[in-house]
Structure 1
Amino acid sequence: MGPHHFAHLRAVADGLSIQASAQRYLGVEHGNAAMAAHRGVVQRLRSIARRAGDPRWRLVGLVIRGIEGDERPALADWAAANGLEGWSEAELQELYRQAFPAERRSARNQRLRQRQIEALRALEQLAAEAPKASDAIAAWFDPRLAQRLQSNGLLLLQDLQTVVARGGCWWRDIGAIGVTKARRIESYLQQLLPGASAGSDALPSLVSAAGALPAMAGVDRRPRFDLVPALPPGHNRADFAGIAITAGSDEQAIEQWVAARAGSQATARAYRREAQRLRLWAAVERGRSLSALSVEDCLAYMTFLEHVPERWISRRRAAPLGEGWAPFAGQLTLASRRQAVSIVASFFAWLVKGGYLVHNPWELVNRRTGDDMSVHALDSRAFEPAVWAAMLAWIESQPSSHSRERMLFLLRFTEATGLRASELTAARLSDLRPLGGRWAMQVQGKGAKKRIAAVPTQALRALQAYLEARGLPPLERAPGDAPLVASLTEPGSSIGYQSLYETVRAWLRQAMRWAPLTDAQRQTARKASVHWLRHTCGTRALERGAPLEVVQAQLGHADPRTTMRYAKAQLQRVQDGMEKAFGD
């Protein structure tokens, strides 16, 4: 039992309601949950008292009435009001008892309450144990809430402390927890583990001249990445004369590579992010420049990516390179780690070709990571038909607004066309043209490559309804420079990529929360993002008999194996063949 359990029992003894005290000290909500938590605390402490041979165990949890209504004034106030300041303490006590004779029951209750408080203090000395960060969450939290936290990988108090300290909407993927309940959890956690939160910015952090963190026992300091020094070239740096890359430093080399190789803003962001992460890691953790990295360093970086230390994870709302900022937003998935290694390996290959480096150590490293054991091969990022229908129905039931109309358009149009988010934000109405009695549109895809995508009837109807909601004429007469997906604040401008991501995510989360779905469906769909709309298009098209090469062309896949990820026909053929061989 922890000190907060005894604080709860003392508060109840002092007259605070069980519901209010349980909410304040036990981290539970109200009603039956509060009463159940209270009874659990009482039973545990009574059991401890009985085992210790303390006869006062019956007083634990006993609600004593008739104390909080005593309206008698304090002795000093009463003496001052009656001009008795010069009287002795004994005389004042005698006069006070005559003026305010206590009823027998009230006096008995007062003595009983005093015994109860004394018993709680004695038992606290005997049984109270301060919570430790390494304790299991289930030992200190309500069982139902603990189960939700544990199902999301938060097993220990320190796990929860870490994600809370990191900030942001840490509760987003945990079922039945919103902003209000999250704040109560944070308050309760602070009560359990008082003091500085994990990763607190109150601890100053400096980078030494060698670029490494100063060693301090028990303190996990976040580096000041803005203070990482420029390190001298390493053994792998090529001679400066005659090279194709004119960069004089690793940072300049990164920018020249991004400018030369990135085909879009999204690609440029990904390239710059991964290269800068490696540069900072090399300086802070290894004290080396990029040209000094060896095969061992490459292997160490891959290990580092598998479990990013907390000091390398940014705090919420931290400005880039500002206080509390770090290069990572959280732990990386297997796919993210694979992408990171692939990008930095191609970066080093470019540096070698341009004469900036002599060798590429990444070529000597086994970069194969295998498949993610946590991802089931039958899992899909496409919405099931039942989930899709329930989600659409819920959004349609909401009050009409520009945001709702835009969301309905995005769902129906993207389901039928499979456009990427970047393709949606870049498109204009002039990109759509009639062709052979139907409609098609020009799309600027990955690598700035153009393709022609079909616009089926479902997508065309969704667009016409969306144009009407925006106050525009039908597509045939609509202004060609109007964006396909408009901003709510500036209707003449296209929605930004981040705004598109956030608005789709917000609508999907609301729909998943309130639509009539099973727990399993809701848990799966809670991970959905705008890219799921594209997967839904590919999956649904193949399920309805569209040829593989047609879906490949529509989605702009260079490799048909990418399109095959959406197909279940091959698996069905295997099932049919094995059923034919071994079925009844």
Structure 2
Amino acid sequence: MPIPAASDTMSAKSDATSTYLRRMGPHHFAHLRAVADGLSIHASAQRYLGIEHGNAALAAHRAVVELLRSMARRAGDARWRLVGLVIRGADGDGRPALADWAAANGLEGWSEAELQELYRQAFPHERRTARNQRLRQRQIEALRALEQLACEAPRPTDAIAVWFDPQLAQRLHANGLLLLQDLQRAVERGGRWWRSIPAIGLTKARRIESHLRQLLPAPGSALAAPMAASLALAAGVERRPRFDLVPQPPPGPNRAAVTGAAISATSDAQAIEQWVAARAGSQTTARAYQREAHRLHLWAAIERHKSFSALTAEDCLAYMTFLEHVPERWISRRRAAPMQPGWAPFAGQLTLASRRQAVVIVASLFAWLVKGGYLVHNPWDLVNRRTGDDVATHALDSRAFEPAVWAAMLAWIESQPTSPSRERVLFLLRFTEATGLRASELVSARLSDLRPVGGRWAMQVQGKGARKRIAAVPTQALRALHAYLLVRGLPPLERAPEDAPLVASVTDAAAPIGYQALYETVRSWLRRALRWAPLTEPQRRGAQKSSVHWLRHTCGTRALERGAPLEVVQAQLGHADPRTTMRYAKAQLQRLQDGMEKAFGE
């Protein structure tokens, strides 16, 4: 006779030590079997029941035992008496008092005769190892039989409140985590997923993750077998593709004849490698090319079962749609290494700018493959690749610091105790405001790149695509550099070592700083300055998304505001298209406002 499931409205007491049970899952039976095999109630409850505090272990154990006993009794199964029965060693030494043993096993309401009988079976007065072993074996068999009848495998679509403590479930619900699959996705994305949930820190988050793995174990794990069928049929959660086992689809009709081709590649993967080596002008560009090309390669093989030479214009449109809403199964855990379990090609949803860049890169890849004779035609040429403007971006937003905000931030940093880090960031802010160099250009520059020309200073810059340009070094930048060299213990620029880096490590004046270190140190100082500088709330909000690149925008905006010609600013910043520089200009907007005010002003 099947055992009926517990009511969805059933709950235990609402005190802090109570356990909320609505259904019996595989983890409950794993706990009972572990206790039957000799594991302590405390250790087993923490391992299988997700208990957060040790003093709640006994209450949690008793709640599980009482629920299963109740379900077994309603079904008329006599084996309910064996549920939760703790069988000690064969000897009678060290036996607990009858009342204590009854309380620990939830047997307070039983008759004296029944207690005595069970107590004798659990603690025989004579050495009866074989009998105890048989009793324990009967208990294990009973648990397995009851599990077949009463166990319900947790499903990703189950409400969190069904399997978690109600107080914890309420906190998770308040943060948009309603179902087990919602919590699972949050955990799989990695990072500090719990940071916005009250009363949950790192330790508690790790226990929640461990309990979730008990409920929804990963395929192939030791815990997955009891519920593999249920998980396979569960709706709403799509399995993560095996990105490390990508199929290799055969060539399609767009594959050009090998003879006469300028590209020696015989596969899409080789073609990507040769394209990156031939076209990428820097390591940064090479990483971007590889990332976008491999994403398309994986998508084509996994989602469309096609090689590059089989992709059509329809596939190209489908990929653009895919990039607009990247499925969760394609988003990686942050802690996962490439091609390891949990890894996926995307770190999150893409911005409009990232989608636009992705399409531009893969279209240029296919154009190169056509020119090299690897493909016959480029399907991206048949697709409207325009993505329009980002609705989330306001046209009046600026990524340049307002003069008042800039002055307040500099004043706050100057007020801090003198340190190598403070002197370096002051140099970076003042030098970059006056020159507009990119972060990559700053870390690669040497003092030998700066030379006097016509009574002033200029410097050679290794810009995007490894292209060189000459940038002016105005007086503000020169003064900041002289002060920075003095702090580093170096002579003035005219006598300084030519091979010394423009921006140095705080521990070694002769060692350059890396890009990531530069990014992190500037961002850290900017965040602290924005937090503590005397700014209004609107000013603080307007600059809260600032980054190192804002320094470059600040240079272009400030130069145009102070009357520098557009072509001068374009040359200084190394913009290939003057329209890029025009984004920093407010003069056009001011003329528009002046003209309309003249027509319709009072």
* TM-score (norm. length: structure 1): 0.69
Deviation at 1:320, TM superposition (A): 1.7
Residues 357-396 of structure 1 correspond to what in structure 2 (within 5 A)? 357-396=375-414
- Please say if 1:554 is aligned against 2:554: no
SS at structure 1 position matched to 2:452: strand
Match of 2:257 among 219, 239, 247: 239
Aligned to 1:324: 342
Deviation at 1:288, TM superposition (A): 1.3
Percent of aligned positions with the same letter in both sequences?
75
Deviation at 1:142, TM superposition (A): 11
Letter in 2 for 1:493: A
Letter in 2 for 1:471: G
SS at structure 1 position matched to 2:212: coil
Instruction: Give distance in 1, aligned partners of 2:383 and 2:550.
Output: 34
Aligned to 2:218: 202
Residues 142-291 of structure 1 correspond to what in structure 2 (within 5 A)? 162-168=185-191, 184=201, 187=204, 195-196=212-213, 202-203=218-219, 217-218=234-235, 219-291=237-309
- Please say if 1:336 is aligned against 2:359: no
Match of 1:424 among 439, 442, 466: 442
Residues 395-406 of structure 1 correspond to what in structure 2 (within 5 A)? 395-406=413-424
Q: C-alpha offsets along residues 188-236 of structure 1, whole Å, 9 cap, x if unaligned?
A: 79869962499x893459xxxxxxxx98543432222121133321221
Conserved in 2, the CA contact under 8 Å of 1:512 and 1:526?
A: yes
Deviation at 1:7, TM superposition (A): 7.6
Deviation at 1:400, TM superposition (A): 2.5
- Please say if 1:462 is aligned against 2:480: yes
Instruction: Give distance in 2, aligned partners of 1:229 and 1:326.
Output: 16
Structure 1 residues 402 and 168, CA, compared in 2 at 3 Å: closer, same or farther? Answer: farther
Letter in 2 for 1:281: W
Aligned to 1:493: 511
* TM-score (norm. length: structure 2): 0.67
Structure 1 residues 427 and 169, CA, compared in 2 at 3 Å: closer, same or farther? Answer: farther
Conserved in 2, the CA contact under 8 Å of 1:161 and 1:197?
A: no
Conserved in 2, the CA contact under 8 Å of 1:277 and 1:327?
A: yes
Deviation at 1:478, TM superposition (A): 0.7
Conserved in 2, the CA contact under 8 Å of 1:429 and 1:484?
A: yes
Structure 1 residues 247 and 142, CA, compared in 2 at 3 Å: closer, same or farther? Answer: closer
Instruction: Give distance in 2, aligned partners of 1:140 and 1:375.
Output: 35
- Please say if 1:453 is aligned against 2:471: yes
Match of 2:543 among 500, 515, 525: 525
Instruction: Give distance in 2, aligned partners of 1:324 and 1:510.
Output: 34
Q: C-alpha offsets along residues 475-517 of structure 1, whole Å, 9 cap, x if unaligned?
A: 1111010011113455423222222222222222232233333
Aligned to 1:55: none
Instruction: Give distance in 1, aligned partners of 2:547 and 2:160.
Output: 41
Letter in 1 for 2:191: G
Conserved in 2, the CA contact under 8 Å of 1:314 and 1:328?
A: yes
Deviation at 1:297, TM superposition (A): 1.0
Conserved in 2, the CA contact under 8 Å of 1:557 and 1:563?
A: yes
Letter in 2 for 1:485: V
Conserved in 1, the CA contact under 8 Å of 2:160 and 2:178?
A: no
Residues 69-84 of structure 1 correspond to what in structure 2 (within 5 A)? none
Q: C-alpha offsets along residues 4-32 of structure 1, whole Å, 9 cap, x if unaligned?
A: x99875469xxxxxxxxxxxxxxxxxxxx
Conserved in 2, the CA contact under 8 Å of 1:164 and 1:186?
A: no
Instruction: Give distance in 1, aligned partners of 2:553 and 2:270.
Output: 38
| Cα root mean square deviation, aligned | 3.8
Deviation at 1:314, TM superposition (A): 1.4
Conserved in 2, the CA contact under 8 Å of 1:165 and 1:197?
A: no
Residues 116-127 of structure 1 correspond to what in structure 2 (within 5 A)? none
Residues 9-158 of structure 1 correspond to what in structure 2 (within 5 A)? 9-10=15-16, 131=161, 140-141=170-171
Conserved in 1, the CA contact under 8 Å of 2:427 and 2:481?
A: yes
Conserved in 1, the CA contact under 8 Å of 2:247 and 2:302?
A: no
SS at structure 2 position matched to 1:442: strand
Structure 1 residues 250 and 551, CA, compared in 2 at 3 Å: closer, same or farther? Answer: same
SS at structure 1 position matched to 2:476: helix
SS at structure 2 position matched to 1:195: helix
SS at structure 1 position matched to 2:368: helix
Q: C-alpha offsets along residues 317-351 of structure 1, whole Å, 9 cap, x if unaligned?
A: 22122222111111100000000001100100100
Instruction: Give distance in 1, aligned partners of 2:179 and 2:424.
Output: 42
Instruction: Give distance in 1, aligned partners of 2:292 and 2:217.
Output: 25
Structure 1 residues 394 and 296, CA, compared in 2 at 3 Å: closer, same or farther? Answer: same
Aligned to 2:321: 303
Instruction: Give distance in 1, aligned partners of 2:212 and 2:503.
Output: 48
Q: C-alpha offsets along residues 38-90 of structure 1, whole Å, 9 cap, x if unaligned?
A: xxxxxxxxxxxxxxxxxxxxxxxxxxxxxxxxxxxx9979xxxxxxxxxxx9x
Q: C-alpha offsets along residues 89-126 of structure 1, whole Å, 9 cap, x if unaligned?
A: 9xxxxxxxxxxxxxxxxxxxxxxxxxxxxxxxxxxxxx
Instruction: Give distance in 2, aligned partners of 1:358 and 1:8.
Output: 70
Instruction: Give distance in 2, aligned partners of 1:520 and 1:75.
Output: 71
Aligned to 1:578: 596
Aligned to 2:426: 408
Instruction: Give distance in 1, aligned partners of 2:507 and 2:362.
Output: 39
Letter in 2 for 1:506: S
Letter in 1 for 2:188: A
Aligned to 1:474: 492
SS at structure 1 position matched to 2:244: helix
Q: C-alpha offsets along residues 249-273 of structure 1, whole Å, 9 cap, x if unaligned?
A: 1111111111111111111111111
Gaps of 5+ in 2: 1-7, 19-96, 101-111, 113-158, 164-168, 222-230
Deviation at 1:426, TM superposition (A): 1.1
Conserved in 2, the CA contact under 8 Å of 1:383 and 1:532?
A: yes
